[in-house]
Structure 1
Amino acid sequence: MTDSNQDGRIPTDYEIAQNAEKRPIDDVVEPFGLDAEDLELIGEHKAKVSFDAIERLRSERSEDGKLVLVTGMTPTPLGEGKTVTTVGLGQAFNRIDRDALIAIREPSLGPVFGVKGGAAGGGYSQVLPMEDINLHFTGDLHALTSAHNLISTMLDNHIKQGNELDIAVNWINWPRAIDMNDRVLRETVVGLGGEVTGVPREDGFILTAASEMMAVLCLADGIEDLKARIGRIIVAYAEDGEPITVDDIGATDAAAILLKDALKPNVVQTIEGTPAFVHGGPFANIAHGTNSLIADEVAAHLSEYLVTEAGFGSDLGAEKFMNIVCRFGEMEPDAVTVVASVRALKYHGQNMWPPNLEQLEDEDVAAVERGLENLDKHVENLRKFGVPVVVALNRFPDDSDAEVEAVLDHCREDLEVRAAESTVFSDGGEGGVDLAEKLVDAAETESSFEPLYDLEMSIKEKIEVVATEIYGADGVEYHSDAETDIERLTEHGFDDVPICMSKTFHSLSDDASRKGVPEDWTLEVNEIYPSAGAGFLVVLTADVLTLPGLPEEPAAANMELQSDGSIDGLF
């Protein structure tokens, strides 16, 4: 499918998107069981699914479609192509006469203008309209930012107006939020300026995608559940140690009002016309890392196959999908595909720090083979959940046949796992047909899915299971006030919920510089706090930034708005 421009240059993702023919969104979804009355149109090519339609689908519910989860090996700065694979698979399933939908997360403006750039797939496997999705889209991220900061405002106002709840000013757990990578706002002081301004205290900002409000939105199944989850969010503690919730400061309904439209799932289309639900965007290194449950639910009711994606590598996104999302959504994957690339394997197999990115362009079968241990660990991890695994080798133009064959042979002969080369970036759905057929085969085999730990286990036991079984740590050390956190959380009855590990995505370990499969190390836990609205405990390890900064050369610096309204450099 790859085309060249008249000057011989391969078109950019943006040019491909601009030249793609988009159909009215109601026409796109009509064959799958949604009509115009089920949609709240936002222009011609974007829509939200109405609450009435969601309730109708629930009442008509029969057997849901099969669920395929897309995850990956340990990420590299170059990107391995999980979203491209997800989009391409949706197109590929439809090419082999399997009705398929996809569900992915909404991009955050921080990464869009920072390091990653856009996040809507790429090449001939992307979702449209690409520029809208990467920018303001349907306003969900703005609504979340406003709802989060409304709670912050009402919390500070309560303290200013007499502090009837006896909130400990130095024990406030609710920072402010911004949807932009702005490192100078990580730590701030508010309330300066005298009596008229407020009570001075330390504060800070987190990225909107890292807010518990994002996790709440993505786990809620309707307005009443949304309100219940918002209401039980813990924003501070009183002087006597009792938790202070959003309900306590009277902000629940106001925050829910700001989110009532954001809760409705968004539907758009891929380049080949596959319906795509793009809704919610929690990060997997901080929160649970998948699109909304309500989008998955709608899509699963409508399709024979639903392809959804978990953030970062399987040690983060897939682990949380299995242990958190599947529990809350009462679902289980029928097959998992782990995305790998030759250059990522070479990256992990270079045996140097920092890795030499220029050398990744050269053929190096030996480095590929050394890096296979990282892929092996991810396959091993996924098999522990009892779900069939398929390796998707996302092929790039510089990959040699020898390197590709080394990976595929290893998967088939040594790992005894299904594996397929994928060229969905350059060839669209056609480039994923082999992968889709292997996933159909996998999904139709018997599986015995089970989460990795029981909720009745102690907090420490759950942490240690993930640390040793998934990360490969020798054990866990608890630093700072982590032991005190565990005692307090157990006392308040938070010991019977899933854990959400906050860890670097650059390594299987908690040290970003350690590549491959690190050995002889101990996971260091610094803090544990409740995301009571989401329904899990967040376990902070090492240093994970909840508000990234811009790189030396931000993606924003290379963007240009043309006089006709078109954009260069967004993707």
Structure 2
Amino acid sequence: MTMKSDLQIAREAHLDPIEDVAARAGISEDHLEHYGRDVAKVSLDVIDAHRDRPRARYVVITAVTPTPLGEGKTTTAVGLAQGLEKIGKRSVLALRQPSMGPTFGIKGGAAGAGYSQVLPMEKLNLHLTGDFHAITAAHNLLAAMIDNHLHQGNVLGIEPHSVSWRRVVDINDRALRNVIVGLGARIDGVPRETGFDITAASEVGVILALATSLQDLRARLGRLVIGYDRSGRPVTAEDLHAAGAMTVILRDAIKPNLLQTTENTPVFVHAGPFGNIATGNSSVIADQVGISCGDYLLTEAGFGSDMGAERFFNIKCRTSGLRPDAAVLVVTVRALKVHSGRYRVVAGKPLPLDMLADSPDDVMAGAANLRKHIEIVRGFGVSPVVALNVFPDDHPDEIEAVRRIAEEAGAHFAASTHVVDGGRGAEDLARVVVDACEAPTDFRYTYELSASLVEKMTAVATRVYGADGIDVSPQAAKDLAHFEELGYGRFPVVLAKTHLSLSHDPRLKGAPTGWRLPIREVRAAAGAGYVYAICGDMRTMPGLGAHPAAERIDIDENGQIVGLF
């Protein structure tokens, strides 16, 4: 029997009034700002109003190194939230907001799958409450004020070639990666080379994700560095008198959005920073709200544990002050088969037919990747739970092979059929997570903030990724020394690399050894409060494929959206 499409399931699901969903999370209607019947923003006042409530168990959802198709972290997080409700535990979920670029590109929708989705699915994938548009507008306002300042005489003495603040748009568009602005008549501005990134790569979006209050948002925006003057001094958004107006644009965007799952479990959707060059986590504020709204707060980190979860532990937890009780590692049979090195998966194309054959040997051949991710989670002193996202074409002995790998590595394990069965299919996973949260934790960071930037980068590369060390280019070494002089030395670090390997090279599968991480470029995200290193070739503006998802998305004769998966 063919399963219904995600869109069909979403349309047929019963949605509770959003005030009822809020009440389930203990949030009164006084703290809601309605966006129609099914979505609401939550006032930040609820944080103080709930200050004396018991705190939920805090669980991060991460994954093994994913295939280009993804392994289903979001749908597993949704299924787990519903599974916890099925066994009598009140749960709340905090997720990133999808970017419309991937929605219209290869990935399609990002609301989960099957009977474990976030609803209303169409609104979630298309605009929602406009937070991404607000980020785009605030970011581009600063860009416009930079060019206007150059045109109006450049009183600050900005070195035009040092300006690093590009424009953003929430659409995949490779033609905008590199542009020249200021062409035309003299009154049209100062010509210079620049470009566009996707909105999810904006530092404004990272700031929204890390801010702890409206006042903190304002302060962080003021610290944004857009370039340097002729003496090498950083020039900030505050210097350009832009931060106040940017904050005004984001005044409503800082409030988390409340939605629900297919089984009416509360979900906070807020912020969506890029997983490669940024934190790749939903907002601190959503977690600050959610931590007092149930027995369990689940939050998802982007990509694998080497990326999103590493930044969750080392950056987000430092900012929020919250400490996780357990980490769920999502894995699929197909991911381990890919990490065997025997198959090649390409986004947008069907899986190789022989990869679907029953082969526990292929699963065992990719076991090193799962073992390494278990080790990464353990390195933070957190109890790992391996959650196998079961596909209909997985074979019982392959599932048993994954169980054996996980349990031999000392991790908890559960197979979950939440996509097909909803919360009922995740009950075993829910029980295992409850047990894992009762285990003692010894939470620790990978590095201390007092260490140098090079020491921090080396710690992440060696202790998390498994590299033998780092190789810093001469220019990157010079820039790191400059950042230390500017007072950025106590910032945490982000290593921007491919998500398709534990290394910087997407061709290296499994758990590669005997390699070093090249640091070819470093940049300071002074407003967000971290320094990031570029390792390999990073694209901050994706392109569209030969047949993007946008070609399939349309309106039918009844005005209903079709083609959104």
1:403 and 2:398 correspond: yes
Q: Is this contact kept in 2: 1:527–1:539, CA < 8 A?
A: yes
Q: Does the residue aligned with 1:37 lie in a helix, a strand or coil? A: helix
User: How far is 1:194 from its partner?
Assistant: 2.9
The aligned runs of 1:53-72 (5 Å cut-off) are: 53-57=46-50, 60-72=51-63
Question: Who is 1:518 aligned against?
Answer: 512
The aligned runs of 1:23-172 (5 Å cut-off) are: 23-57=16-50, 60-172=51-163
Question: Who is 1:500 aligned against?
Answer: 494
Determine the C-alpha separation between the residues in 2 that align with 1:85 and 1:442. Answer: 17
1:551 and 2:545 correspond: yes
Question: Who is 1:4 aligned against?
Answer: none
Q: Is this contact kept in 2: 1:338–1:390, CA < 8 A?
A: yes
Q: Does the residue aligned with 1:433 lie in a helix, a strand or coil? A: helix
Select the residue among 502, 513, 526 that pairs with 1:532: 526
User: How far is 1:312 from its partner?
Assistant: 0.3
User: How far is 1:480 from its partner?
Assistant: 5.2
Question: Who is 2:299 aligned against?
Answer: 308
Question: Who is 2:388 aligned against?
Answer: 393
Determine the C-alpha separation between the residues in 1 that align with 2:287 and 2:320. Answer: 9
The one-letter amino acid paired with 1:547 is: M
User: How far is 1:184 from its partner?
Assistant: 1.0
User: How far is 1:352 from its partner?
Assistant: 5.5
Q: Give CA deviations for 1:164-195 in whole Å, capped at 9, x if unaligned.
A: 00000000010001101101111111111131
Q: Is this contact kept in 2: 1:64–1:301, CA < 8 A?
A: yes
Question: Who is 1:489 aligned against?
Answer: 483
Question: Who is 1:176 aligned against?
Answer: 167
Q: Does the residue aligned with 1:563 lie in a helix, a strand or coil? A: coil
Q: Give CA deviations for 1:315-349 in whole Å, capped at 9, x if unaligned.
A: 00000001000000101110001000001111111
Q: CA RMSD in A?
A: 1.2
Question: Who is 1:271 aligned against?
Answer: 262
1:283 and 2:283 correspond: no
Q: Give CA deviations for 1:184-210 in whole Å, capped at 9, x if unaligned.
A: 111111111131111111100111111
Higher mean alpha-carbon deviation, 355-364 vs 97-106, is at: 355-364
Q: Does the residue aligned with 1:163 lie in a helix, a strand or coil? A: coil
User: How far is 1:362 from its partner?
Assistant: 1.4
1:211 and 2:202 correspond: yes
Determine the C-alpha separation between the residues in 1 that align with 2:45 and 2:450. Answer: 37
Determine the C-alpha separation between the residues in 1 that align with 2:509 and 2:394. Answer: 21
Determine the C-alpha separation between the residues in 2 that align with 1:227 and 1:324. Answer: 19
Determine the C-alpha separation between the residues in 1 that align with 2:264 and 2:344. Answer: 43
User: How far is 1:262 from its partner?
Assistant: 0.3
Question: Who is 2:363 aligned against?
Answer: 368
Determine the C-alpha separation between the residues in 2 that align with 1:49 and 1:454. Answer: 34
Determine the C-alpha separation between the residues in 2 that align with 1:567 and 1:504. Answer: 33
Q: Give CA deviations for 1:195-247 in whole Å, capped at 9, x if unaligned.
A: 11111111001111111000100111221111000000001100110000000
Question: Who is 1:378 aligned against?
Answer: 373
Question: Who is 1:456 aligned against?
Answer: 450
1:9 and 2:14 correspond: no
User: How far is 1:146 from its partner?
Assistant: 0.3
Question: Who is 1:358 aligned against?
Answer: 353
Select the residue among 322, 326, 336 that pairs with 1:335: 326
Any stretches of 5+ residues in structure 1 without a counterpart?
1-7
Q: Give CA deviations for 1:379-431 in whole Å, capped at 9, x if unaligned.
A: 0111000011110011001100111111112222x212110001110110111
Question: Who is 1:438 aligned against?
Answer: 432
- Return the TM-score normalized by structure 2: 0.98
Work out the percentage of aligned pairs sharing the same amino acid: 47
User: How far is 1:528 from its partner?
Assistant: 1.2
Q: Is this contact kept in 1: 2:370–2:406, CA < 8 A?
A: no
1:238 and 2:229 correspond: yes
Q: Is this contact kept in 2: 1:346–1:360, CA < 8 A?
A: yes
Question: Who is 1:195 aligned against?
Answer: 186
Q: Say if 1:358 and 1:79 are closer, same or farther in 2 by CA, change over 3 A.
A: farther
Q: Does the residue aligned with 2:161 lie in a helix, a strand or coil? A: strand
Select the residue among 419, 437, 440 that pairs with 2:413: 419
Determine the C-alpha separation between the residues in 2 that align with 1:306 and 1:271. Answer: 18
Q: Is this contact kept in 2: 1:501–1:538, CA < 8 A?
A: yes
Select the residue among 213, 220, 228 that pairs with 2:211: 220
1:19 and 2:41 correspond: no
Any stretches of 5+ residues in structure 2 without a counterpart?
none
Determine the C-alpha separation between the residues in 2 that align with 1:459 and 1:76. Answer: 31
Q: Does the residue aligned with 1:517 lie in a helix, a strand or coil? A: coil
User: How far is 1:353 from its partner?
Assistant: 5.6
Q: Is this contact kept in 2: 1:71–1:309, CA < 8 A?
A: yes
User: How far is 1:303 from its partner?
Assistant: 1.3
Q: Say if 1:224 and 1:101 are closer, same or farther in 2 by CA, change over 3 A.
A: same
Determine the C-alpha separation between the residues in 2 that align with 1:245 and 1:128. Answer: 39
Q: Is this contact kept in 2: 1:347–1:357, CA < 8 A?
A: no
Higher mean alpha-carbon deviation, 559-568 vs 40-49, is at: 559-568
The one-letter amino acid paired with 1:25 is: I
Determine the C-alpha separation between the residues in 2 that align with 1:38 and 1:564. Answer: 35
Question: Who is 1:297 aligned against?
Answer: 288
Q: Give CA deviations for 1:138-186 in whole Å, capped at 9, x if unaligned.
A: 0000000000000000011011001000000000010001101101111
